[in-house]
Chain A
Amino acid sequence: MHSVKKKGFGSNLKESFFKNLFKISGLLTILTLLGIFALLLYSAVPAFKEIDLKEFFTSTRWDPTSPEEPEYGLLSMLVSSLLVTAGALFIAFPVGVAVAAYLSDVARPKTREIFKPVIELLAAVPSVVVGFIGITLIGPLIARVFKMSHGLTALNGSILLAIMALPTIISISEDALRAVPQSYTEASLAVGANHWQTLIRVKIPAARSGIIAAFMLGMGRAIGETMTVLMATGNARSFPHGFLQSVRTLTANIAIELGEVPYFTTHYYALFALGLVLFLLTFIINLTADLIMEKQKRKLL
């Protein structure tokens, strides 16, 4: 009320001050994303004064501290990252979609209200704790089942990453299933389909884009995960030939070597080049997921 009187030049100044303050904060997010890309690029480029770009992407040998001929090939690590991620999704995607279906279509509202926060809690378990569980629980279990000396293998990493990717997959798939208009469900039930048939043949196909996006985001999460794989997969440098082998992923390699590398050497810059590859990989995955979800939203409107 008295605010009306105050309206004048000073008030306008204040208005634009706050508006710009908020706007700058918003713009900062674009700046951060561009900044990450630019600084990674800036720190990765010097590596290629000495490293052949083709060798970097096609060689399977990574041995920067070799006394004779340092080698910089990322292929083994890239394949390891993809292997562990593929294993994780193989477990987490079906389970995640099943849990999402349970929460959105089967569970009572009360049950759902209890389960949702618990699954959110799973997302809050720190990756280093998951890695620790990999060392103390899952690893020894794998060793016993497959009669190996230790269980620090790609399989261990896949199981743990599956657990970590689950909350993402569940919550996004559930959102997608819940976004399917009620009329679809009603129409399906009205023509005599039961709830299961409706879920499988109407709702999941209608929510397809969202569920694919959930898959992509789970994949992004798994590829970028560091501590868990660092602790649980054994970190052997060789090219991976199966799930029962020790592997070293891109993320784990950066974490292992950045601590001991002298600053501003070719090896140091090469680690940033690995970081750049990782950044671009996850960026493309996330962007694709984003575009799929946007499309889905527009379709359902």
Chain B
Amino acid sequence: MSRSIKKSKNNKFEKSVLLQWVGFFLVRLATYAVLFILIYFLYDIASKGYKSISWEFLTEAPRKGMTQGGILPAIVGTFLVTMITAIVAVPLGMAAAIYLNEYAGAGRLTRLIRLSIRNLAGVPSIVYGLFGVILFVNILKFGTSVLSAGLTLGLLTLPWTITASEEALKSVPDAYREGALALGATKWQMIRTNVLPYSIPGMLTGAVLGLARAAGETAPIMFTGAAFYLPYLPRSLKDQFMALPYHLYIMATQHHAIDKARAIAYGTALVLIVFIVIFNLGAIIIRARLRNKWRN
């Protein structure tokens, strides 16, 4: 340090120190700005939305042309669709990840699968919606229903659950695998007894994060099953349903009395965000715990 002070007579050196200070200041400023924006958004919705939240809001159907009442059908609809999404995306995601991490070699097929996964993750959500309309609604004749929407969201979530599951599998040390194989276990025995028990918590954490994102998607369900307004809850998988994100879209843009609907829109946005933040925090906490466990 003392040497650098002596050197600071050197003009060029002083300039570079100043530049470093300015540079670090700018990148720090950018980061704080991003955090501020996120927090401000959440604060804005929370502060305007909490007034709408009441027991009635959470447990009743919309009334009077959706200017009063609650959002229960939307909560139930989103829950149901997310269950279907989970049934599709979680087991398939785990299975594909097991194949990639435990069985697949470095061949061309493996590269092709990985390429497909990364590209599927980049397919726009509205394109998944179009795909769902053709395949599930029309070709397979599921109609616009909970089932069609759930399957569409399932495919959209698949690349995320595969990636998360693979990450969890990678975190299991190879010694666990070698130990099992050295004792004469077959590959599947090894996976079942020495790999899966240690990776399932991580896989499920990733799955929860993926499902939280799927639950917030609107474009894929708009044309595959989500309904503008339904006074009743869906009674079968072939029924249409209301969903939180779609309800928010309707209340924010399509409603005949936007001003009256604004309070409900804020309330819906808050409920949606609270769900997603809870899921995310849960997953983050579990992940942090797991990481510490591995370290010890």
Q: Which residues of chain B from 262 to 290 have a CB within 8 Å of any chain A CB?
A: 262, 265, 269, 272-273, 276-277, 279-280, 284
Flag if A126 contacts B31 (CB, 8 Å): no
- Whole-angstrom distance between the alpha carbons of A259 and B162 in the complex? 32
Flag if A128 contacts B27 (CB, 8 Å): no
Q: Which chain A residues border B125 with CB–CB below 8 Å?
A: 127, 224, 226
Q: Which chain A residues border B172 with CB–CB below 8 Å?
A: none
Chain B nearest CB from A202 CB (Å) reads: 14
Q: Which residues of chain A from 238 to 286 have a CB within 8 Å of any chain B CB?
A: 251, 254-255, 258-259, 263, 271-272, 275, 278-279, 282-283, 285-286
B127 within 8 A of A: yes
A142 within 8 A of B: no
Out of B30, B96, B217, name the residue touching A98 (CB < 8 Å): B30
Cβ contacts A185-222/B at 8 Å (1 or 0 each): 00000000011110110000000000000000100110
- Whole-angstrom distance between the alpha carbons of A101 and B27 in the complex? 7
Stretch at the interface among A17-25, A47-55, A56-64, A69-77: A17-25
Given contacts A43-B134, A126-B217, A132-B248, contact A163 B31 (CB under 8 A): no
Chain B nearest CB from A14 CB (Å) reads: 6
Q: Which chain B residues border A42 with CB–CB below 8 Å?
A: 134
Stretch at the interface among B53-61, B68-76, B182-190: B182-190
Q: How many residues of A contact B (CB 8 A)?
A: 92
Closest partner residue, chain B, to A122 (CB atom): B38
Flag if B186 contacts A285 (CB, 8 Å): no
Q: Which chain B residues border A255 with CB–CB below 8 Å?
A: 126, 219, 222
Specify the main secondary structure of chain B where it touches its partner.
helix
Flag if B23 contacts A200 (CB, 8 Å): yes
Q: Which residues of chain B from 1 to 24 have a CB within 8 Å of any chain A CB?
A: 16-17, 19-20, 23-24
Given contacts A98-B26, A196-B24, A259-B223, contact A32 B120 (CB under 8 A): yes
Flag if B273 contacts A129 (CB, 8 Å): yes
Given contacts A19-B103, A135-B252, A200-B23, contact A102 B30 (CB under 8 A): yes
B79 within 8 A of A: no
Cβ contacts B192-231/A at 8 Å (1 or 0 each): 0000000000000000010011001111001100000000
Q: Which chain A residues border B150 with CB–CB below 8 Å?
A: none
Flag if A106 contacts B28 (CB, 8 Å): yes
- Whole-angstrom distance between the alpha carbons of A35 and B158 in the complex? 15
- Whole-angstrom distance between the alpha carbons of A27 and B217 in the complex? 25
Q: Which chain B residues border A132 with CB–CB below 8 Å?
A: 45, 248, 252, 265, 269
Chain B nearest CB from A125 CB (Å) reads: 7
Q: Which chain B residues border A26 with CB–CB below 8 Å?
A: 95-96, 99-100, 104, 113
Closest partner residue, chain A, to B162 (CB atom): A29
Q: Which chain B residues border A259 with CB–CB below 8 Å?
A: 222-223
B171 within 8 A of A: no
- Whole-angstrom distance between the alpha carbons of A274 and B183 in the complex? 57
Closest partner residue, chain B, to A216 (CB atom): B122
Q: Which chain B residues border A137 with CB–CB below 8 Å?
A: 41, 44
Q: Which chain A residues border B138 with CB–CB below 8 Å?
A: 263
Out of A36, A43, A231, A258, name the residue touching B123 (CB < 8 Å): A36
Flag if B17 contacts A128 (CB, 8 Å): no
B50 within 8 A of A: no
23 A-B pairs whose Cβ atoms sit less than 8 Å apart in the complex? A1-B183, A18-B191, A19-B103, A25-B95, A25-B96, A33-B119, A33-B123, A40-B134, A95-B34, A98-B26, A121-B38, A126-B216, A126-B276, A127-B216, A128-B218, A128-B249, A132-B45, A133-B41, A135-B253, A166-B34, A227-B249, A230-B253, A231-B253
Having A121-B38, A137-B41, one finds 16 other A-B pairs with CB under 8 Å, namely A19-B188, A28-B96, A29-B120, A39-B131, A40-B127, A94-B30, A118-B35, A121-B280, A129-B45, A129-B248, A132-B45, A132-B248, A135-B253, A163-B37, A226-B218, A282-B123
A-B complex: 6 closest residue pairs judged by Cβ atoms: A224-B124, A126-B216, A196-B20, A25-B95, A22-B99, A98-B30
Q: Which residues of B contact A (CB under 8 A)?
A: 16-17, 19-20, 23-24, 26-28, 30-31, 33-35, 37-38, 41, 44-45, 92, 95-96, 98-100, 102-104, 112-113, 115-120, 122-131, 133-135, 138-139, 155, 158-159, 162, 183-189, 191, 209, 212-213, 216-219, 222-223, 245-246, 248-249, 252-253, 262, 265, 269, 272-273, 276-277, 279-280, 284
